[in-house]
Structure 1
Amino acid sequence: MAERKPEWLKIKLNTGENFKELKRMMRGKTLHTVCEEARCPNIYECWANRTATFMILGDLCTRACRFCAVKTGLPTELDLAEPERVAEATEQMGLTHVVVTSVARDDLKDGGALVFAETIQAIRKRTPLCSIEVLIPDFLGNWDALKVVMDAKPDILNHNIETVERLSDRVRSKAKYNRTLELLAKSKEFQPKVPTKSSIMIGVGETTEEIIATMDDLRRVDVDILTIGQYLQPSPKHLPVKKFYHPDEFAQLKEEGLKRGFKHVESGPLVRSSYHAHEQVESAAKAL
């Protein structure tokens, strides 16, 4: 029998005018957001505050990770006009920090790296003062593709490790724990001044010692920002929740992360990779 969600995971619904306006804009420009596709619990708060994470390269992922609610399948096309529409939406929303992520496109030779680069360039052209964070897939270890993204000089490079090494193959599809670490290390080699960021979701069967070991692995490749959040099962077909962590435990993990030298740690039950992304960047910059 599934464990009931504790009180601290209750979500406040806010479907006010900002939320409705953002939804209309996304549909009008045929854009996707990871907020909707991954059923993020913070969508109401973030959209009410006119913050969203754009998901490029379509809404069909070529992988089927056992924690993720994004639809899976084989994409049939590539929308080359998408970068400009994302840039238009960013400008219309008046964003000062934008997060761009994507589905995994293993069907493409470069995994979609060129579209990421073009999206960065299009946003920068329209809103030069807006900082740009990209949350990228691993491109199956194609470091030439990674270099295309890094050459576009995003303001922050985000790639999630998701879980501890022991559970990685069970939780993720095709992604490899050590490949994630190598990607984060390569990102710093290509652009030493671009901060890197990664995320751990907990509650899938890891131990505290394994979480700490993952932090140490991320610090060894000089990751600057860490986010830690509670895994929530999107559907009965996905991995079950093994444990709901108490907010006090998240606070303790934040302290452990800061002790290890992360410039910023965002840790809490409803924290997701892009949650309070702008504040994370500002906090990390102050710590440099």
Structure 2
Amino acid sequence: MKRSFDYTRKPAWIRMSLLTNRDYNTIKKSVSDRRLNTVCEEARCPNIHECWGEHRTATFMILGDTCTRRCRFCAVKTGLPAAVDMTEPVRVARTIAEMEAVHAVITMVNRDDLDDGGAAVMAATVRKVHQLAPGCSVEVLSSDLMGDRKSLEIMMDSEPEIMSHNLETVRRLTPRVRSRSEYDRSLDFLKMVKEIDPAKLTKSSLMLGLGEKKTEVLESLDDLRAAGVEMVNLGQYLQPSRTHLPVVYYWSPEEFDELKAAALERGFLHCESGPMVRSSYHAGDQYQLIQQRLQASN
């Protein structure tokens, strides 16, 4: 790649909002009072102040705060998870209802210790959100469930509006970046979603800056399209701590614009591409745009 940076040095286009207003504090208190986890906090997302303070959105992380995998890019802690808390679905749903959210993103830690990977708890959470916040669409950001079709069917039976699973990185870097995960298993997971429900919207994300080449990113976009994925997010990887993988390269805003154009040329209905983009960045706006485009094409 063209250049590298150390942990503390970042280019001028990496800018993080520090907006701490009433909306931010309200969401933070609700999450704390109900003993909930958000990927915004656990993964140290740089957009937390913007999403909570400006857009009143949060990405809820269910099934505890401890992951059974140790991916080298992720700040979520790893270890032996606690027992499943079956009160979690209703606590998440009540918080989303109180936020008056119109779109909710719910993700999960990997729970390879559970027979269904946590699919039943995710399904229960989606159903509770639909029940308590009927005007709110739900986007599920799932683990790969070890590729188990039955577990995926359990999750999809709750009818989330969007099924999302992140490819994370290009094929060559997957063994180094992702723990106990496989590039092709992720693609097969997304293909299975379409096999179960061809009309279901699917989404994936790639983080850039780990040493991938542009040609490899384009190959991954081709692979996602071949799997039927309609929505893709492309963002800059930022090293969460010195113990995580270092940033090899900071892609410029112009390069992200070029990748967005390439994604749209390949037939994606929507591509969010930029240095600060994350999996659920402006997810509600994306869903509304997709709905408008689908309605216009009918």
TM-score bucket of the superposed structures, by smaller chain: over 0.9
> 2 CA distance for matches of 1:11 and 1:138?
30
Unaligned runs of 5+ in 2: none
The one-letter amino acid of 1:10's match is R
2:33 maps to 28
Picking from 72, 78, 86, the partner of 1:66 is 72
2:15 maps to 10
The one-letter amino acid of 2:247's match is V
8 Å contact from structure 2 (residues 137, 161) kept in 1: yes
**Alignment size in residue pairs:** 288
Match of 1:9, SS? coil
CA RMSD of aligned residues (A): 0.9
Q: What CA deviation, in whole Å up to 9, does each residue of 1:218-247 have, x standing for no partner?
A: 000110100000000011111110000110
Q: What CA deviation, in whole Å up to 9, does each residue of 1:31-57 have, x standing for no partner?
A: 000000000010000000210000000
How far 1:127 sits from its partner (Å)? 1.3
1:282 aligns with 2:288: yes
Unaligned runs of 5+ in 1: none
1:52 maps to 58
> 2 CA distance for matches of 1:12 and 1:149?
34
2:145 maps to 139
How far 1:286 sits from its partner (Å)? 3.0
* Larger RCO (CA under 8 A, 6+ residues apart): 2
1:240 aligns with 2:216: no
> 1 CA distance for matches of 2:270 and 2:254?
18
How far 1:284 sits from its partner (Å)? 2.1
2:43 maps to 38
8 Å contact from structure 2 (residues 104, 139) kept in 1: yes
> 2 CA distance for matches of 1:170 and 1:15?
36
1:150 maps to 156
Q: What CA deviation, in whole Å up to 9, does each residue of 1:190-217 have, x standing for no partner?
A: 1111100000000000000000000000
How far 1:287 sits from its partner (Å)? 3.1
How far 1:281 sits from its partner (Å)? 1.1
> 1 CA distance for matches of 2:213 and 2:36?
38
8 Å contact from structure 1 (residues 263, 283) kept in 2: no
How far 1:12 sits from its partner (Å)? 2.0
> 1 CA distance for matches of 2:28 and 2:82?
25
8 Å contact from structure 1 (residues 66, 238) kept in 2: yes
How far 1:285 sits from its partner (Å)? 2.4
How far 1:143 sits from its partner (Å)? 1.1
> 2 CA distance for matches of 1:193 and 1:276?
22
Segments ≥4 residues shifted beyond 3 Å: none
How many percent of aligned residue pairs carry the same amino acid? 51
8 Å contact from structure 1 (residues 66, 172) kept in 2: yes
2:260 maps to 254
8 Å contact from structure 2 (residues 253, 275) kept in 1: yes
1:126 aligns with 2:132: yes
> 2 CA distance for matches of 1:241 and 1:284?
32
> 2 CA distance for matches of 1:221 and 1:7?
36
> 2 CA distance for matches of 1:58 and 1:76?
7
How far 1:155 sits from its partner (Å)? 0.1
The TM-score, its normalising length taken from structure 1, stands at: 0.98
How far 1:85 sits from its partner (Å)? 0.4
The TM-score, its normalising length taken from structure 2, stands at: 0.95
